[in-house]
Amino acid sequence: MFQLTLQQGHSISTLVWVAALAIVLVTLFYWRAFRMLRPRQWQILLVLRILAILTIVLLLFRPVLSRYKELSERRTVVFLVDTSSSMSIADDTSGKSRIEQAREQVAAWSEQLREAFSLQVIEFSERARLLPDAKQVPTLTAEGKATSISRALVAGAKAVTPRTNIEAIFLVSDGVHNSARDPEEIAVKIGVPVYAVGVGASLRNDATYRDIQVTALNCPDTLMLNNKTRITAGIEGVGLAGRVIRVILEEDEKPVGEVELTLDEVDGAQEVEFEFRPTVVGRHVYAVRVPPIPEEKIVENNQRSSPALVVEPGIRVLYLEGTLRAEYGAVVQRFLAKDPDLEFCSLVQTNPNVFLKRTNIEGLELDTLPTTAEQVSSFDVFILGDLDSSFIKPEQQVLIAQRVREGAGLIMLGGYHSLGPGGYAGTPIGEILPLLLGDREVGQVTDPFLPKLTPDGSHHPIFANIADFFPTTAGDAKREGLPDLDGCTRVVGSRPGATVLATCPAETTAQGEMPVLAIQPVDKGRTAVFCGDTTRKWQQGPVAFDRQSPFLQFWGQLVRWAAGRSTEVEAEASVVSSTDKSYYEPDEEVVISAVVRDNKGEGALNATVVARITDPAGRTAELQLSPAAGSAGRYEGRRAPANAGAYEIVVETKLGELTLQSEKLSIEVGRPYLEFEKLDLNEPLLAKIAADTGGRYAHISTAGSLVDQLDRTERKRRVRFETPLAVPLPLWIVFVGLVTTEWVLRRRFQLR
């Protein structure tokens, strides 16, 4: 059956009246205007004009020829297959895993329904994905880290347009839902019958069920090197009261602790605590596991792991100086303020007991010498400069000496009011120094000299990579150009148990050449004395001639040794990145930090630092890091990842023409082992979803008949096909042709 309609919505009679009126008016006009022509001539012009007018009318009204046809239509059945990790367990008497049972059932149903219905298969865990072909069902694996039945239902309803073409949705799952909205709320809204198929067993209702589960693992995100660390785990046993089990703590799959636990009969987890000391810096994976017992059917929940970052504790330095001398400016400006690994507070005396403070420690409230054990214990290294002992009360000295014995470091520098001249002999601080100081009249050595390294000094970490700058007992310096010191504070000699690393060749004591740098252990801590004045020349001189300087490495390695860290300081450009944690909840901010050093090993202030973040889907985003408060060379940025999964982070830095990359960081978003917290088949949820949508619920063992309830009747629908009778481009070409032909004939007929 055919039907003529107008695209613009008018009636056919309107088109006819408009066309007829136009023809009549044109005919009258041409008869009056051109009747002096021969009849054949004005009639040809009239026909051309009428045809042009009819073309315009067709373009205005756009007639459409329509016809209707009945077509057979196959409706669609959508299968939603749960591929989350909980589907990997085998709790069936046949020994098959839940995902194996689901694959077999969906594959069998697909064969039965292929001729009567169109089939769509969607696999889902925390996200839903439409399979290109239902034949891929046998390849599905259960690896998803979370389950969102809500997203699966939404994806199923959107799989076919319009939604009314969906005959039914088959939800094949164990009902373990643990993310993204309430599935019952979604089920009511989708308007499609859902046939829910339960896979698995109600384990805890089985009197023969035996299981051990690691329910929780509390591991700090950051662990301090060689510091005592506590990791706790929750262990729950079902049907095993009185059984003694082993609980093992592993670091990177190597055991570092083990305890025995007697399982109780009380519902809920029992807490197990481990104490150990991390010994290797870097990222490690800590796991708590319980070896499976023969009665267990499910062993996937016998272990939990968590990544953690082992770092050296930050070094906090307190520098006390008596005068604004050159050494103070060099140590603060050229070393402390430029070493990204250090947090420091410097107090320099400008008037008696009045100090000027400089610090990069946020929120530090310390404007004078520390007076409490709490203030003193917050620092790892103390540097005492040209500050007379009379300004440090005996009780304050006792606090500092006690902190050193507990593990801190103390470095005393030479000066006119330090060491012996400063009255430190016999004081609590003087008694823990490695040198015999002498009295206030011991005086100064004013002859310029370059410290000569002893055999111990040549191989000590303080002089790592810089020993060639100094003369030794074996001969002159191998690298020339290091300026002499102006002098040093005189000392009497070294204490028994001290190690002399460098001497002053121009001065002798009863023991030989006078020590200028000496160290010694003090219980758990360390002390050092450096008598020289002033190392600023070691920085200024070589820099002026564009030569390498040992200044930063000397001070950096001296302070690190005093803090108990024999770490070498490299004079080269580098970038080291880190995150504040290794595991995050979705939408929780990740703090990405980077420490950037220039080619001198100093903190770089004007670097361009970008973090490239790769998400679980392989997409990469960039985050610009900005200079952070505190030590020079530190940069920071924040980003909140939305999706669960593993993320990789690489930080790239540009220093002028130089481009540097950090090592790859890995973080985890989403609760680990979420899938194994509840393993029972959730039949009430699946049954409720089916009832709310007009479908049915059945366990997979009895679900074979569900597809028999589908309506296989062939459906027909009336489809309208339209053919436009006024295609704009061809009609405009015709119109232009008609008007052009009329114009040419009028010129030939000698008309205007």
According to the model, what pLDDT value does residue 123 have?
A: 96
Phi, psi of 247 (to 5 degrees): -120, 120
Whether pLDDT at 504 is above 70: yes
Residues in the chain: 752
The 10s digit of each residue's pLDDT in 720-747 is 777 787 788 888 888 888 888 878 887 7
Q: Cβ-count burial of 85 within 10 angstroms (0-12 exposed, 13-18 middle, 19+ buried)? A: buried
Mean pLDDT of the region 464-471: 92
The 10s digit of each residue's pLDDT in 261-315 is 999 988 888 999 999 889 888 778 899 999 999 888 778 889 988 888 787 777 9
Mean pLDDT of the region 354-363: 90
According to the model, what pLDDT value does residue 561 have?
A: 94
Three-state SS string across 238-255, please? ECCCCCEEEEEEEECCEE
The 10s digit of each residue's pLDDT in 173-229 is 999 998 768 899 999 999 999 999 999 987 766 677 788 989 888 888 778 888 888
Whether pLDDT at 103 is above 90: yes
More confident residue, 644 or 155: 155
Q: Which domains does the chain have, with CATH numbers?
A: 2-70+721-748 (no CATH), 75-202+680-698 (3.40.50.410), 211-311 (2.60.40.10), 315-562 (3.40.50.880), 574-669 (2.60.40.10)
According to the model, what pLDDT value does residue 752 have?
A: 60
Whether pLDDT at 38 is above 90: no
CB under 8 Å, gap of 24 or more: what pairs does 618-625 form?
623/592, 625/592, 625/593, 625/594, 625/651
According to the model, what pLDDT value does residue 540 have?
A: 81
Between CA 354 and CA 322 the distance in angstroms is: 10
Sequence-distant (6+) residues with CB within 8 A of 600 are 549, 552, 571
**Cβ distance 245 to 263 under 8 Å?**
yes
Mean pLDDT of the region 705-709: 86
**Cβ distance 725 to 15 under 8 Å?**
no
Between CA 574 and CA 154 the distance in angstroms is: 49
603 band by pLDDT with thresholds 50, 70 and 90? confident
The 10s digit of each residue's pLDDT in 55-70 is 888 778 888 777 777 6
Which neighbouring-strand residues pair with 229?
Answer: 276
Phi, psi of 725 (to 5 degrees): -100, -5
Q: At what angle do helices 551-562 and 536-544 cross, to 10 degrees?
A: 150
The two three-digit tokens of residue 365, written as one number: 């409230």
Between CA 563 and CA 595 the distance in angstroms is: 20
The 10s digit of each residue's pLDDT in 550-581 is 999 999 999 999 998 877 777 788 888 888 77
Whether pLDDT at 41 is above 70: yes
Mean pLDDT of the region 656-680: 80
Between CA 344 and CA 555 the distance in angstroms is: 14
According to the model, what pLDDT value does residue 224 have?
A: 81
According to the model, what pLDDT value does residue 6 have?
A: 76
Tell me which residue has tokens 């949705």: 169
Amino acid (1-letter code) at residue 331: V
Between CA 355 and CA 439 the distance in angstroms is: 26
Between CA 499 and CA 455 the distance in angstroms is: 10
**Cβ distance 30 to 47 under 8 Å?**
no
**Cβ distance 168 to 674 under 8 Å?**
no
Going by their DSSP bridges, the two strands 244-251 and 487-489 should be labelled as unpaired
Whether pLDDT at 20 is above 90: no
More confident residue, 624 or 46: 624
Sheet holding 270-276, edge to edge: 211-218, 229-238, 270-276
According to the model, what pLDDT value does residue 417 have?
A: 95
The two three-digit tokens of residue 254, written as one number: 């190597």
Count of beta carbons in the 10 Å neighbourhood of residue 688: 17
The 10s digit of each residue's pLDDT in 534-548 is 899 898 877 666 678
The 10s digit of each residue's pLDDT in 213-241 is 898 888 887 788 888 889 999 999 888 89
Whether pLDDT at 357 is above 80: yes
Going by their DSSP bridges, the two strands 166-173 and 76-82 should be labelled as parallel
Between CA 125 and CA 470 the distance in angstroms is: 66
